[in-house]
Amino acid sequence: MNAPFSPAPADALRSALAGLLDGLPPKQAAQAVDRLIANYRGRTPTDAPILRDRSDVAAYAAYRMPATFEAVRAALAGLADAAPEWSPGSHVDVGGGTGAATWAVSATWESGRPVTVLDWAEPALTLGRELAAANPLLAEVDWRRSRIGSALSIESADLVTISYVLGELTEADRGSVVAAAARAAQAVVVIEPGTPDGYARVLAARDALLAAGFSIAAPCPHDGACPIEPGADWCHFSARVSRSSLHRKVKGGSLPYEDEKFSYVAAARFPVSPVAARVTRRPQIRKGQVLLDLCTRDSGLARATVTKRHGALYREARDVDWGDPWVQGD
């Protein structure tokens, strides 16, 4: 994806998180992380906030904010690629917690804007406000406590993000939240974990946004039905996340990075130009050839085999990544 991106917000976020777990026993942080991971995988719909206290919020921010930031940024890049002349003048982040999506928006469109973060966990909002002080582009954020469900009211905004929150809700509340976003926004981006369940929630949101008159900007090359056979596979992507020493302290692990799997849809009421084809799996690089699994505008799911005899196209194929557009796909 080739949307503009500045490393400054990512660096500022890492710096803001650096001292977050000072004084919090590692065992307590690890236990909180384990419980939060189970919930954020979407298997525990609830009508109560998942982030209950400062310890929960600190553990969540340390372990999840960098990954959420990268996944949301990648999804926003898909929208930015499809509408390169557009940028949001206002932003509402539904279920935004400690504000990872607001950081990602500031990394994608480098200007300040009025932002409202809605969440039902006051400790998350409090910590989000503290972290945002490190980012000048987040000076106009209203951290507002709000129940996320059927009674949700969203003020009109250019962009509404709903990231890693639908899995916390009942099916009825998911529909209500997406409908509220569709009524309020010019563009809606929904991000969920890259699991079959997360993809199913994204697919339902996609259908609802299309029914509300939106056009799909990304990742799909079209507004038609998803060509994946239900139950056979699921659409998801991967974002590389640098692990800090803080991250390893919370959850362990020897690698300096991890890959965050996510599913998403970006949709808009204004004209967008989706890619002709998108790489839907990690490319398979073999001797003298590259195999690309694609979702295409005209042919649905397809595989492209690019060999050395294709010259420049082969060199391009070797550099393409999972989730990238493939300009030769049409």
Alpha helices per DSSP H over the chain: 7-17, 26-38, 54-82, 100-108, 122-132, 171-184, 196-211, 245-251, 312-319
Coil vs helix vs strand at 132 = helix
Radius of gyration of the chain (CA): 19
Of 119, 141, 2, 5, give the one whose Cα is nearest residue 51: 119
Q: How far is the C-alpha of 233 from the C-alpha of 174, rounded, in Å?
A: 22
pLDDT at 24: 63
* Residues 290, 252 within the same domain: no
* Residues 107, 18 within the same domain: yes
pLDDT at 57: 77
Q: How far is the C-alpha of 296 from the C-alpha of 294, rounded, in Å?
A: 6
Amino acid at 248: R
Coil vs helix vs strand at 110 = coil
Alpha helices per DSSP H over 154-291: 171-184, 196-211, 245-251
Report pLDDT digits (tens) over 197-227: 999 999 999 999 999 999 999 999 999 999 9
Give per-residue burial for 74-100: e unless 16+ CB within 10 Å, then b.
Answer: bbbbbbbbbbeebbbebbbbbbbbbbb
Residue 225 located in a structural domain:
yes
The total of structural domains in the chain comes to 2
Of 66, 83, 75, 86, give the one whose Cα is nearest residue 16: 66
Where does a domain end: 268, 292, 307? 268
* Residues 175, 40 within the same domain: yes
- Report the DSSP beta bridge partners of residue 260: 239
* Residues 114, 258 within the same domain: yes
pLDDT at 29: 65
- Local confidence pLDDT in tens for the 330 residues of the chain: 444 445 577 788 887 887 676 666 666 666 766 666 666 544 545 455 555 667 777 777 877 888 999 999 999 999 999 999 999 999 999 999 899 999 999 999 988 899 999 998 888 899 999 999 989 999 889 999 999 999 999 999 999 999 999 998 999 999 999 999 999 999 999 999 999 999 999 999 999 999 999 999 999 999 999 999 988 899 999 998 877 665 665 556 666 778 899 999 999 999 999 999 999 999 999 999 999 999 999 999 999 999 999 999 999 999 999 999 998 644
pLDDT at 110: 86
Residue 1 located in a structural domain:
no
Of 230, 223, 312, give the one whose Cα is nearest residue 271: 223
* Residues 290, 264 within the same domain: no
In total, the chain counts a number of residues equal to 330
* Residues 158, 306 within the same domain: no
pLDDT at 11: 80
* Residues 66, 192 within the same domain: yes
CB-count exposure of residue 113 (10 Å: 0-12, 13-18, 19+):
buried
- Report the DSSP beta bridge partners of residue 259: 240
DSSP single-letter state for residue 311: T
Q: List C-alpha distances in Å: 156 to 35, 62, 183, 210.
A: 35, 32, 8, 19
- φ, ψ (nearest 5 deg) of residue 232: -90, -30
CATH code for the domain in which residue 76 is found: 3.40.50.150
Residue 94 located in a structural domain:
yes
* Residues 33, 146 within the same domain: yes
* Residues 19, 101 within the same domain: yes
* Residues 259, 229 within the same domain: yes
- Enter the tokens of residue 322: 């999972």
* Residues 31, 167 within the same domain: yes
Does residue 279 contact residue 265 with C-beta atoms inside 8 Å? Answer: no
CB-count exposure of residue 107 (10 Å: 0-12, 13-18, 19+):
buried
pLDDT at 37: 61
Any idea which residue has 């595989």 for tokens?
303
Q: Is the dihedral of CA 91, 96, 97, 101 positive or negative?
A: negative
- Enter the tokens of residue 162: 């709903």
pLDDT at 170: 94
Q: Which domain holds residue 139?
A: 7-268
* Residues 264, 317 within the same domain: no
Give per-residue burial for 144-163: e unless 16+ CB within 10 Å, then b.
Answer: eebebbeebebeebbbbbbb
